[in-house]
Structure 1
């Protein structure tokens, strides 16, 4: 099974970190969750984003998510794949050059990468997405297009695979997003 790196930050979307972290482990994969300036055993705060009929998602406090690896000790070459959850974390994680280097490693090495919701912000900040089909939360469409990708406007329950990149608009896509990502890992 695969050794997977998951990049997190405070106010990562609750379901978008908890569900893949647990589901990928249940499938037999070894998943390490890291966050800049934090160590194994530290936690990040999460936010619950919900779709309640407003113009955008609502946000509520989520859980504390315990990290199981130390950011400073992470060697991306030791991992087979990368998961980038959404929420508010990607908007500031994309300002961290080491985070961008980690994302670049996976994208340029053509290793499987799964990004959901606002996770596309991190991809767009790290690499050109020229010629790729990429989905994300619709508010991220301008950034995805500016990075050169063909933004794929999907139903909230759908995902798209382009090469070794799997993307989806939000957590309701978990079954499809994780199924497509798992197919790349096996």
Structure 2
């Protein structure tokens, strides 16, 4: 049986940990992961940023690494992928304005394929209008958008995650162990409401 293929849609100033860690972890678990960005091709890079929690009223932001894309967004056939991953950071703010990004997200949600979003990744879910009636976690500053999109905001610890059927969401990178574990369970068809592999 071939490895499940995961599409990761990212962009400039994506959160460094929320891009690098899931990308590398899912590869290590044996999944195929294609990282893409609208307007860029395989071999191009996106700039990342590091969001940190240092006691201020909101996160701080610093320049991170360059992350190399390994696939070309314009060549992607979403039907060929088993799952979708949406990192946070600042990228979702502009990616949610891209009609092709929103169409891709709608495909995964309409087909009940596993979808994982973290932190500000919820901004793409809200813009795609795919979370009405769902329970969704996100960075707390995204709560109004989540609720305006008709979802219940999961007010959980920063290191927690929530699974609602095919959708796994978390508030920020401290949740990686819970978020990636729950996403892996959905990918394997072991989570409640998940489709069997």
TM-score, normalised by the number of residues in structure 2? 0.94
Structure 2 gaps of 5+ residues are 189-197
- The within-5 A match list for 1:53-132 is 53-132=55-134
Partner secondary structure for residue 88 of structure 2: coil
1:4 counterpart residue number: 6
Change (3 A) 1:122 1:27: same
Runs of 4+ in 1 over 2 A off after TM superposition: none
Structure 1 gaps of 5+ residues are none
2-structure distance, mates of 1:128, 1:146: 12
Count of residues in correspondence between the two structures = 186
1-structure distance, mates of 2:73, 2:66: 17
Partner secondary structure for residue 158 of structure 2: coil
Partner secondary structure for residue 55 of structure 1: coil
TM-score, normalised by the number of residues in structure 1? 0.99
- The within-5 A match list for 1:38-49 is 38-49=40-51
Aligned alpha-carbon RMSD (Å): 0.5
2-structure distance, mates of 1:49, 1:26: 24
2-structure distance, mates of 1:165, 1:96: 21
